[in-house]
Amino acid sequence: MKTKKRYEQDFLENIAPATRQMSPYMVEGGQEAEVKLNQNENPYDLPDALKRDILEEFRKECWNRYPDVFPNQAIERYARFLGVPKECVIMGNGSNELIYAIGLATLRRNASMLIPSPSFSLYEKVATLLEADVIKVAMTDALEFQVDEILEEAERSRPNLIALCAPNNPTSKSLALEDIEDIVAHSRAIVLVDEAYIEFSKRRSALELLDRYSNLVVLRTFSKAFGLAGLRIGFAIANPALAAELLKPKIPFASNRLAEIALIKLLDNYHVVQNAVASILRERERLYDELRKIDAIKTHESDANFLIIELENPTRVFKALKARGVLVRNVSSYPLMEKCLRVNVGTREENDRFLAALKETLAG
Ligand code: PMP
């Protein structure tokens, strides 16, 4: 009998270099606080009656059976809500899952992705995992997009994918539809327009461009305005030929029936979303006005459901707020944002507690 050789085990040798070098995804300060303003969530949970209705429907389901490989009922309902053909719509387990699918469909070693910087960290993470190159185009010092630079860089380096987050997380600034169209029309890349915060924005949606451009994919989420972050629902919308390609690398059965039922019921009760958005926008303006009265900080105008404030020693302020039960996001490690904190708009009471804690901290 052949003798079997025993190897010294070092499992790390088998981990892909891009993964080994990567830091794990972390939410600084944790995810629990009395006043939680760190993840750009909707501060209003669904009304209890609606939750009961969703759960009652979900109770009747066979939990031992697989859902549809791709959730057709929810896709049809959301396509109708948007007024686009259902062949244009892909549903994911959160839009994060769809960012991965779009990355898998477009990137590889020697391919590249252009990302305005700073922006949502997941785009770069996916590119790095796939060993694609990341080309960054800096925002201005005022945190605005530099459209001409993006266009020039797209021409020069021919990326396969451009990720435009509009309104942008973490800067809160947006991009006019004309500028998005310029980039979509004048580059050969697939252009991902992440509209996670579009419901809070003054600008028009890139969905208007869908008929005319085959290289455009728009991303939407139910985690922000729709208030369903816990159920993990996101959508990608593209013309049918592109959508068919983006669907191929997607994880089958990724969306569960509870998400599908909740989505349909919530769209049937869309006034719940409209009321939440109206209240968040009212509070955003009030919070902005109150913050502008504080001399020691600079507050950026926002097109999303969160505000960026600039101040001395953001990490100290972040910790002091946390000690007072108020959790915001410390974004000071992002380029151009060394002095920034990000705070999402909460309920009136939460915003008041944040303002009081901030004033105390700055006075102390
Ligand atoms: N895109 C952007 C710009 C985001 O800020 C977020 C959440 N922070 C997501 C996508 C992911 O959202 P989800 O996976 O919950 O749909």
What is the whole-number distance in angstroms between the Cα of residue 334 and the centre of ligand 1? Answer: 17
Q: List the residue whose alpha carbon is closest to atom 8 of ligand 1.
A: 39
Assign domain 48-268 to its CATH architecture: 3-Layer(aba) Sandwich (3.40)
Question: Which H or E element spans position 48?
Answer: helix 48-59
Task: Give the whole-angstrom CA distance, residue 250 versus residue 340.
Answer: 36
pTM of the predicted protein model: 0.96
Phi, psi angles (nearest 5°) of residue 263: -60, -45
Q: Is any atom of ligand 1 closer than 6 Å to the C-beta of 302? A: no
CATH superfamily of 28-45+272-363: Aspartate Aminotransferase, domain 1 (3.90.1150.10)
- Amino acid identity at 298: K
Q: Is any atom of ligand 1 closer than 6 Å to the C-beta of 96? A: yes
Measured at the CA of 218, the angle between CA 96 and CA 234, to 5 degrees, comes to 35
Percent of the chain with pLDDT over 90: 93
CA distances, 336 to each of 133, 275, 294, 331 (Å):
21, 34, 22, 10
Task: Give the whole-angstrom CA distance, residue 231 versus residue 269.
Answer: 17
What is the whole-number distance in angstroms between the Cα of residue 203 and the centre of ligand 1? Answer: 19
- By CB neighbour count within 10 A (0-12 exposed, 13-18 middle, 19+ buried), where does 203 fall? middle
> In this structure, what token pair is assigned to residue 302?
């926002």
> In this structure, what token pair is assigned to residue 135?
């080309």
Q: Which residues contact 343 (CB under 8 A, 6 or more apart)?
A: 37, 38, 287, 306, 307, 309, 328, 329, 354
Q: List the residue whose alpha carbon is closest to atom 12 of ligand 1.
A: 95
Q: Is any atom of ligand 1 closer than 6 Å to the C-beta of 120? A: yes
Atom of ligand 1 nearest to the CA of 229: 15
208-212 mean pLDDT: 97
128: Cα within 13 Å, side-chain hemisphere: 14
Q: Is any atom of ligand 1 closer than 6 Å to the C-beta of 194? A: yes
Atom of ligand 1 nearest to the CA of 221: 16
233-242 mean pLDDT: 98
What does the chain come to in residues?
Answer: 364
Strands of the sheet containing 340-344, edge to edge, are: 298-299, 306-310, 340-344, 329-330
> In this structure, what token pair is assigned to residue 73?
């009922």
Q: Is any atom of ligand 1 closer than 6 Å to the C-beta of 259? A: no
Q: Is any atom of ligand 1 closer than 6 Å to the C-beta of 116? A: no
Q: In this predicted structure, what is the pLDDT of residue 1?
A: 65
For the cut 70, the answer to whether the pLDDT of residue 40 exceeds it is: yes
Q: Is any atom of ligand 1 closer than 6 Å to the C-beta of 169? A: yes
What is the whole-number distance in angstroms between the Cα of residue 66 and the centre of ligand 1? Answer: 26
Measured at the CA of 94, the angle between CA 236 and CA 216, to 5 degrees, comes to 20
Residue-wise pLDDT tens digits, 107-135 = 999 999 999 999 999 999 999 999 999 99
Residue-wise pLDDT tens digits, 334-359 = 999 999 999 999 999 999 999 999 99
Q: Provide the residue ranges of all domains of the chain, joining segments of one domain with +.
A: 28-45+272-363, 48-268
